Amino acid sequence: MSTCIRKSVYTGKIQGVVLDWAGTAIDYGCMGPVSVFIEAFNRFGISVSAAETRQFMGLMKKDHIRGMCGLPSVKARWIDKYGWEPGENDVAELYAEAEPLMVAQITSHAEPIPGLLEFIYELRNNGIRIGSTTGYTRPMMAAMLPVAQKQGYAPDAVVCSSDVPAGRPHPYMCYQNAIALQVYPLEAMVKIGDTVSDIQEGLNAGMWTVGVTQSGNCLGLTPDQIERLDKVELARRLQAIENTMREAGAHYVADGIWSCLPIIRDIDKRLAHGETPAGCFNRHSEN
């Protein structure tokens, strides 16, 4: 890589792709974390739904709990049981319950999403490096990584929310990936994720962003559940998720990682013509 100061628009190819973990690369439907948060609240005598839990997916896990405690519905149940609104001490106690549960649970949801390994193979064949960001903490990923590796997935860089000053939507995890992968400029990188906070993270870092709809948290269904769902209803839900991703600023939207390789090729063409992530939005869909 040249050490000269860049004075022109980048017109090279994509050099790095940064993937989210659950719902994007592994754990179709993002099932592991949901069950943990439900159980953690249940241990405090508070019933929470999967829908309430999924609203904050993608955030650092303590921030996720903080967000759930701020929901009017959850707050009302807490007040009814304890007589006060959930505060930071309560968030800390909930997190203390959730962290060991998370370490134990997520390793049973480490199966690669269909198409991931083929996608990684093609990227590496083209000299593209693979990074990752996650709302999981380093202890959680220490348990996850060897399990994922045994199933064929081992990105070149893994950055956790606990490794940086703040998690999503802040760009720090993406910056750390750029450093670890030695990729510059940032418009030579693509962030792929299944939550709005993933999209915001990538945009804040100055990267191209891709939102995945079918395999992720927003739909929140396993392949078997999707197979049983009425096709019209599935299309309606996916369209709503796509609209949300586009409103968040996603440059591209795809059903899942299996549809992302043509997107990388399209971005290469756009870069060659001098386009940048900051200069264009919402052009393409692979649904």
Which residues participate in catalysis according to the annotation?
A: 20, 61
* Rg (the chain; Cα; Å): 19
The span from the CA of 137 to the CA of 36, in Å, is 14
CA–CA distances in Å: residue 186 to residues 9, 173, 209, 239? 12, 13, 12, 29
> Using the 8-state DSSP alphabet, how is residue 22 labeled?
B
In single-letter form, the type of residue at position 262 comes to P
Query: Beta strands 252-254 and 16-19: pairing type?
Result: unpaired
- Going edge to edge, which strands form the sheet with 208-212? 159-160, 129-134, 16-19, 189-193, 208-212, 252-254, 284-286
**Residue whose C-alpha is closest to residue 169's, from 84, 106, 267, 249:** 249
- What count of other Cβ atoms lies within 10 Å of the Cβ of residue 152? 12
**ω into residue 185 within 30 of 0, thus cis?**
yes
DSSP 108: G
C-alpha to C-alpha distances, 221 to 36, 131, 195, 257, 261, nearest whole angstrom: 16, 25, 14, 16, 23
CA atoms within 13 A on the CB side of 100: 3
* Cα 69-72-78 angle, rounded to 5 deg: 55
Query: Other CB atoms closer than 10 Å to residue 235's CB: what's the count?
Result: 12
Helix (H) or strand (E) holding 204: helix 196-204
